[in-house]
Structure 1
Amino acid sequence: MNLMKVFDWQERYAGRNIPYTDHELFDFDFPKTLTGKYLNEIAFPLGGIGTGCISVSGSGQLIDWEIFNRPNKGYRPDYTFFMLFAQSENEEPNFRVLEGRLQPPYQGYSHGAQMFKGFGFGPPREFGSGFLRMSECSFTGYFPFCRLDFADESLPIKVSTEAWSPFIPLNDEDSSLPVAIFDITLTNITEKKVKTTVALGLQNILGFPEFGKSESYWIDEGSHRGIVMTTHRHDQDSPRFGTMALLTPNDDITYQLNFAETHWFRATESLMDEFGTTGEFTGPKESVISPEGQAYVAHLGIKAELAPGESVTKTFVLAWLMPNFEKYWGERHVWKTYQGTKWESAKSVAEYVLENMPRLEGQTRKFADTFFSSTLPTYVLDAISSQMSILRTPTVTRLTDGILYGWEGCHVNHGCCEGTCTHVWSYAQTIAYLFPKLERDMREMDFAVNLRESDGHMQFRTELPPGTKAGHGFHAAADGQMGNVLRVYREWQLSGDDEWLKKMWTSVKKALEYAWVDWDKDKDGLLEGIHHNTLDIEYHGPETVCGSMYLSALRAGEEMARYLGDNESADEYRKVFESGKRLSDEMLFNGEYYYQRVPDGAEIPYQYGQGCIIDQVLGQWHARMYGLGDIYDPDHVKSAIASVFRYNFRDNFYNHHNPHRVYAINDDKGLLICTWPKGGRPKRSVTYAFECMIGFEYQVGAHLIYEGFLREGLSVCKAIRDRHDGYKRNPYNEFECGSHYARSMSNYSYLLALSGFRYSAPEKTIYFNPVICKDDFQCFFSVEGAWGIIKQRKTNYGKVITIKVVGGGMEINKLVSGDITVDNNDMIMVGSDTLEIPIIC
């Protein structure tokens, strides 16, 4: 690609060196295939929205079985791995575990109390660690799919495994299926016939961690067959109750429901001596129930005979259903999960998937193809798509009525910071665009249970069990509460649902005007009152982190009020906004960036004072995405966001002391939460100041692009993805306070900033103004009711913008591209799903 045509747009520079070359920043070679050491930390989550997940490692292991309605990092069932038998005509049989070769260390696992295994006993034999593996392995991730390619010079076949789960924009039902699908392609690379079997073991871990009295049985329904698992130890209302199913549509199979013998090493020996030499399982075929405390292992193999050069694809569908959620902290409560209300068992889930496989795979692949056709840099596409996987992890669950509920992230075996915390989740953008109904439902629940009717105070964490009213025993979070107001505006803009806005408006007004009860009692637009925020402390005195959120919320409030005919409120919001904008620029801008005015003479811990804080124009970022205009003087905003990059971005951390949490180290690059370039750091300065936190970084990076700092903004994104390169850290687990941290979904704003895309459903207007590849640009889009691709192509007379709807439908009366506005009289329909808009310029 001609780089001059890619990056011919950059309005300004931030005043420090760009840490990457243009060839590194404008890399469009997607997807990337990883090998060698870059496979080490990969764990790709499979599952549905709120269902928990099973992850595929970079070498093909099935790891981190987090299907029990809580995190469960590091857990792997015994003997649950893919195996391969292959035998050429008149040749010796070959047996492999279908994984890449194990990498050091080889001392054994060191966590947990273990006897005769673990540390000092080597890699576990229960994982087939001593068996031969494939000599070549590579991993390619293109969420919602990943592909592992295996080869071994001593084998007559090569193997490719594509693992996926349904993920379809606007279709939260099919995207919430608790299922993992493995399509395994076997290719004969010889000139002889080859007999082969690919198999998967599955331990019946139902009841975890209280094993025993679990049953595995065989079914054959004509169109599909396989192994179904249940438990008789736990009743159907118990949080330990659940079912699993391993089914296939293929008909040439072999199976066993348990090992015939397990004494000493007979289980692993039977895999080597029986399956490994014949490709057949000879263990019990009758239904079996395990003794108390034991979990039996079943195996399903799919057989094939391949002519020279022939390829076949065999499919495994692994489903689970744990229908009862347990509040495992504080006072215990149990309730049905959303999936538990929809599905009778894992068998019914797997059968639904098999019956609808062409549609589910077709729509999921259409989404992936459309998304990755975007002319955005490789690492941007990788960042946005990889963190969509957060929705598959225990960071989220779906409550009985389907409402999405989230933690901030995940501990190893416990959710981290419950309550869909508003001051974290208000950064996240992905769900609002891909699954807008889920976002609207979250807004409704938040205002229904967390708003204090008397004054508008909002609790920023939603309590469980579902329906619990807030206790209001702590500060409201100013950034989170104003974020709620902004997100109602966002949801309305994306949906155009006026009735929904009317229903929400009284509560939204109370939430917005709570600022006048507690934080801005004189209505001058500055937050002088003590206000809690996402750094888990209270700011004392006016500043622009929460202050900019307040001003943006006032603008959103004004727009909503005026639309609904509440002009008195709209006028008042505008008056307070204008005052706050003026005073902030006069009192809180030091010529380079915005700072905090700590009350004179007060020695208050955890303030940032004269510091250059990462989120100082957070509200302006929201305003750019939602079309709310300038919150502060635009030149001041550009100077401020440039200062964050100039002073807070580090090219490495070799000379940086960090007494806080360590999310960047050594040769990593990243943005610090706060620095004091002009001196004056308080002795007990703001929390987390010395850290890099990814969700904040993404927000700043996208905002840099909005303000004209293209390379700087891209550098922030690339620095994050370089830290999560598969060698140092997992590309599918960006962590802040725990794994799969929700704030990382702020990265969807990169797509919005680089494309200039915004849709106002009330106006039926698309705004579109790409800043890279302007002569030949295309980008995925998704809004309420429709998703697809929007393109811009240079012509002799100007440019042509093409909007192709891939799924759903939308109304467009107007398109705004830069300074040019085109109404629907000048739009040309091409077929039933494509609109062409010629623009003369």
Structure 2
Amino acid sequence: MVSGHLFHCRKNSWPPEEYVGRTALQLLDLDGGSPPEQAWRRRLNSHANILKEFSVTFMEAMKMMTLGVRLWSYVREEASHGRKAPIDPFTRERCKPSASQGVPLGGMGSGSISRGFRGEFKNWHIIPGLCENSPVMENQFSIFVSRDSGNKKYSSVLAPGHHEGLKKCNDSGISSWDWNLSGQHSTYHALFPRAWTIYDGEPDPDLKISCRQISPFIPHDYKDSSLPASVFVYTLVNTGRDRAKVSLLMTWANSIGGFSHHSGGHFNEPFIGDDGVSGVLLHHKTAKDNPPVTFSIAACETQNVSVTVLPVFGLSGENHVSAKEMWDTMSKDGHFSRENFNAGCSMPSSSGETLCAAVSASTWVEPHGRCTVAFALAWSSPKVKFQKGCTYNRRYTEFYGTSERSSSINLVHDALTKYRLWEEEIEKWQDPILKDEKLPEWYKFTLFNELYFLVAGGTVWTGQDRTLDLNSPASTSC
């Protein structure tokens, strides 16, 4: 058994040593860039705490013996058919929750991806019965800053470089990127279904950055709350004397966690959509005849923001541009070639090969000026197949159809054009509780943050208004 919660409750979630400068919060208080005071907080250079296990007394064990025997018989029966039981208290190799994983992505019932407070994408739960806990470290946001004066340039992955998931494999892989962020002056803020990461002068001392993560978890909205999509809105404030060119980069691996990216048969495809939404589709061929998954990473091009893509890069540099070459291009130019949008579908990957993609959004920020840049992520696997062979259409297919490609494009488009409406509805729902002075602080953020399990707990929401019971044999969770 595991005790505790994903967001560990404590009386005061913001002790003095974890304060973000009030000046930075005031500067970022534009378009929702500043987090609410009631959010759960952690500094990026802190470490996650694995929740402690608790034991039961002899008398409690005796009372649960009948239930234990039934569960043991059920687990053995499922194993004899080559299946994993959805509830298996006897096996420790499962997705272990911690007290600081962060707000998961997306709505309900369409597969989930968690995002840790330090920015890592992990706990991949897109295929029922399969939960890959380890982060995919190629999935990152990064920043490149240059000034008109030309004296200073900054480049860094927007995640601490001391992450235990980062391993030096070869000189052309992601270890060649600039992992310069210490995290000492950066803070994560969680109030489900939103989260904020504030970079208070990291990596550029004259740049304040807020990354706001928004998912469509909205009361009484049974359409958008089923969507597998999230938006990442960057608010940039230049406190320096020189104009700054800022290029934000989103990189993504064609993977559903674990070693799935090595199975082969995956391919990427650039796209230009409506309303300035452009990006890359990553078509993933799953193992064991599971339904395929298509990821879409995109950014919104505006009058002030230019979007370019690199449809494919690899880790070795043998068949494609290497991760190091991709990074060097961004460090030098701050963007990719616009000709990349005409590249078409890549060749399917070979076994053992990792395909990645990148989307860049570049803008100029005037001295003491502000700018907003928005990215989106969507993952579309319209059919859900359970271990006993039953197949259903997910809820969102009633609105977006069953094509992985078209639904993925439409999902990121709607996410980038509707996220402000989502936030308005979320604030209408949360504000009466957050502003209630009779309620203690810890209760407010705990009340909302504990709802994470409706997204990350293995829920499957099918079409025809049917939600499968997590405890039934037909439904599975980690």
Instruction: Structure 2: give runs of 5+ residues left out of the alignment.
Output: 1-10, 16-35, 49-99, 402-406
What corresponds to 1:131 in structure 2? 179
1:239 to 285, 290, 306: 290
Question: What's the offset of the Cα at 1:229?
Answer: 2.1
Tell me how far apart the structure 1 counterparts of residues 452 and 475 of structure 2 sit (CA, whole Å). Answer: 25
Deviations 1:166-214 (A, max 9, x none): 1221222221111111001111120001111001011223794674333
Whether the aligned pair in 2 keeps the contact of 1:49 and 1:391 (CA below 8 Å) is: yes
2:38 to 25, 30, 34: 30
Q: Does 1:360 align with 2:422?
A: yes
Q: Does 1:182 align with 2:232?
A: yes
2:466 to 391, 394, 403: 403
Partner letter of residue 107 of structure 2? Answer: G
Tell me how far apart the structure 1 counterparts of residues 469 and 176 of structure 2 sit (CA, whole Å). Answer: 36
Q: How does 1:690-729 map to 2 (within 5 A)?
A: none
Tell me how far apart the structure 1 counterparts of residues 457 and 435 of structure 2 sit (CA, whole Å). Answer: 30
1:163 to 203, 209, 213: 213
TM-score normalised by L of structure 1: 0.41
Whether the aligned pair in 2 keeps the contact of 1:214 and 1:229 (CA below 8 Å) is: no
Tell me how far apart the structure 1 counterparts of residues 418 and 177 of structure 2 sit (CA, whole Å). Answer: 36
Q: Does 1:379 align with 2:449?
A: no
2:348 to 290, 295, 315: 290
Q: Does 1:201 align with 2:262?
A: no
What corresponds to 1:519 in structure 2? none
Whether the aligned pair in 2 keeps the contact of 1:95 and 1:277 (CA below 8 Å) is: no
2:328 to 256, 273, 276: 273
With over 3 angstroms needed to count, the CA separation of the structure-2 counterparts of 1:154 and 1:338, relative to structure 1, is: closer
Deviations 1:495-538 (A, max 9, x none): xxxxxxxxxxxxxxxxxxxxxxxxxxxxxxxxxxxxxxxxxxxx
2:432 to 348, 366, 370: 370
Question: What's the offset of the Cα at 1:142?
Answer: 1.5
Q: How does 1:743-758 map to 2 (within 5 A)?
A: none
Tell me how far apart the structure 2 counterparts of residues 98 and 361 of structure 1 sit (CA, whole Å). Answer: 24
Q: Does 1:250 align with 2:301?
A: yes
Q: Residue 356 of structure 1 aligns to a residue in which SS? A: helix
Equivalenced residues, count: 377
Question: What's the offset of the Cα at 1:226?
Answer: 2.0
What corresponds to 2:317 in structure 1? 263
With over 3 angstroms needed to count, the CA separation of the structure-2 counterparts of 1:161 and 1:153, relative to structure 1, is: closer
Question: What's the offset of the Cα at 1:154?
Answer: 4.6
Tell me how far apart the structure 1 counterparts of residues 166 and 159 of structure 2 sit (CA, whole Å). Answer: 20
With over 3 angstroms needed to count, the CA separation of the structure-2 counterparts of 1:386 and 1:346, relative to structure 1, is: same
Alpha-carbon RMSD across the aligned residues, in angstroms, is: 3.6
Whether the aligned pair in 2 keeps the contact of 1:47 and 1:53 (CA below 8 Å) is: yes
Question: What's the offset of the Cα at 1:129?
Answer: 7.1
Partner letter of residue 171 of structure 1? Answer: D
With over 3 angstroms needed to count, the CA separation of the structure-2 counterparts of 1:353 and 1:58, relative to structure 1, is: closer
Question: What's the offset of the Cα at 1:320?
Answer: 0.9
Q: Does 1:72 align with 2:131?
A: yes
Partner letter of residue 214 of structure 1? Answer: H
With over 3 angstroms needed to count, the CA separation of the structure-2 counterparts of 1:29 and 1:399, relative to structure 1, is: closer
Q: Residue 131 of structure 1 aligns to a residue in which SS? A: coil
Partner letter of residue 30 of structure 1? Answer: Q
Partner letter of residue 239 of structure 1? Answer: N
Whether the aligned pair in 2 keeps the contact of 1:94 and 1:277 (CA below 8 Å) is: no
Q: Residue 392 of structure 2 aligns to a residue in which SS? A: strand
Question: What's the offset of the Cα at 1:98?
Answer: 1.1
Q: Does 1:392 align with 2:455?
A: yes
Q: How does 1:417-566 map to 2 (within 5 A)?
A: 418-419=471-472, 463-464=473-474
With over 3 angstroms needed to count, the CA separation of the structure-2 counterparts of 1:159 and 1:71, relative to structure 1, is: farther
What corresponds to 1:100 in structure 2? 160
Question: What's the offset of the Cα at 1:128?
Answer: 6.5
Tell me how far apart the structure 2 counterparts of residues 318 and 334 of structure 1 sit (CA, whole Å). Answer: 25
Q: Residue 205 of structure 1 aligns to a residue in which SS? A: coil
Percent identical pairs in the alignment equals 16
Partner letter of residue 418 of structure 2? Answer: N
Partner letter of residue 240 of structure 1? Answer: P
Q: How does 1:722-801 map to 2 (within 5 A)?
A: none
Partner letter of residue 276 of structure 1? Answer: S
What corresponds to 2:396 in structure 1? 339
Partner letter of residue 329 of structure 2? Answer: E
Tell me how far apart the structure 2 counterparts of residues 31 and 347 of structure 1 sit (CA, whole Å). Answer: 32
What corresponds to 1:573 in structure 2? none
Q: Residue 43 of structure 1 aligns to a residue in which SS? A: coil
Partner letter of residue 47 of structure 1? Answer: G
Question: What's the offset of the Cα at 1:44?
Answer: 1.8
Highest Rg: 1 or 2? 1
Question: What's the offset of the Cα at 1:160?
Answer: 0.9
Partner letter of residue 181 of structure 2? Answer: R
Q: Does 1:348 align with 2:404?
A: no
Tell me how far apart the structure 2 counterparts of residues 305 and 59 of structure 1 sit (CA, whole Å). Answer: 27
With over 3 angstroms needed to count, the CA separation of the structure-2 counterparts of 1:50 and 1:56, relative to structure 1, is: same
Instruction: Structure 1: give runs of 5+ residues left out of the alignment.
Output: 1-22, 109-115, 408-417, 420-462, 467-737, 740-841
Deviations 1:243-277 (A, max 9, x none): 22122222411211012883379723224422123
Q: Residue 38 of structure 2 aligns to a residue in which SS? A: coil
What corresponds to 1:148 in structure 2? 197
With over 3 angstroms needed to count, the CA separation of the structure-2 counterparts of 1:232 and 1:187, relative to structure 1, is: closer
Tell me how far apart the structure 2 counterparts of residues 76 and 243 of structure 1 sit (CA, whole Å). Answer: 19
Deviations 1:754-785 (A, max 9, x none): xxxxxxxxxxxxxxxxxxxxxxxxxxxxxxxx
What corresponds to 2:62 in structure 1? none
Deviations 1:344-392 (A, max 9, x none): 3211222233343332232123223333223311211222211111111
With over 3 angstroms needed to count, the CA separation of the structure-2 counterparts of 1:197 and 1:53, relative to structure 1, is: same
Partner letter of residue 224 of structure 1? Answer: G
With over 3 angstroms needed to count, the CA separation of the structure-2 counterparts of 1:335 and 1:354, relative to structure 1, is: same
With over 3 angstroms needed to count, the CA separation of the structure-2 counterparts of 1:52 and 1:106, relative to structure 1, is: closer
With over 3 angstroms needed to count, the CA separation of the structure-2 counterparts of 1:193 and 1:347, relative to structure 1, is: same
With over 3 angstroms needed to count, the CA separation of the structure-2 counterparts of 1:349 and 1:74, relative to structure 1, is: same
Deviations 1:80-111 (A, max 9, x none): 110100001122422110123425x5895xxx
Deviations 1:669-699 (A, max 9, x none): xxxxxxxxxxxxxxxxxxxxxxxxxxxxxxx
Tell me how far apart the structure 2 counterparts of residues 217 and 384 of structure 1 sit (CA, whole Å). Answer: 41
Tell me how far apart the structure 1 counterparts of residues 335 and 327 of structure 2 sit (CA, whole Å). Answer: 11
Q: Residue 330 of structure 2 aligns to a residue in which SS? A: helix
Whether the aligned pair in 1 keeps the contact of 2:314 and 2:354 (CA below 8 Å) is: no
Tell me how far apart the structure 2 counterparts of residues 154 and 312 of structure 1 sit (CA, whole Å). Answer: 16
Tell me how far apart the structure 1 counterparts of residues 299 and 286 of structure 2 sit (CA, whole Å). Answer: 28
- Structure (1 or 2) with the greater helix fraction: 1
Partner letter of residue 189 of structure 2? Answer: T
Deviations 1:648-677 (A, max 9, x none): xxxxxxxxxxxxxxxxxxxxxxxxxxxxxx
Whether the aligned pair in 2 keeps the contact of 1:183 and 1:313 (CA below 8 Å) is: yes
Partner letter of residue 297 of structure 1? Answer: C
Q: Residue 370 of structure 1 aligns to a residue in which SS? A: helix
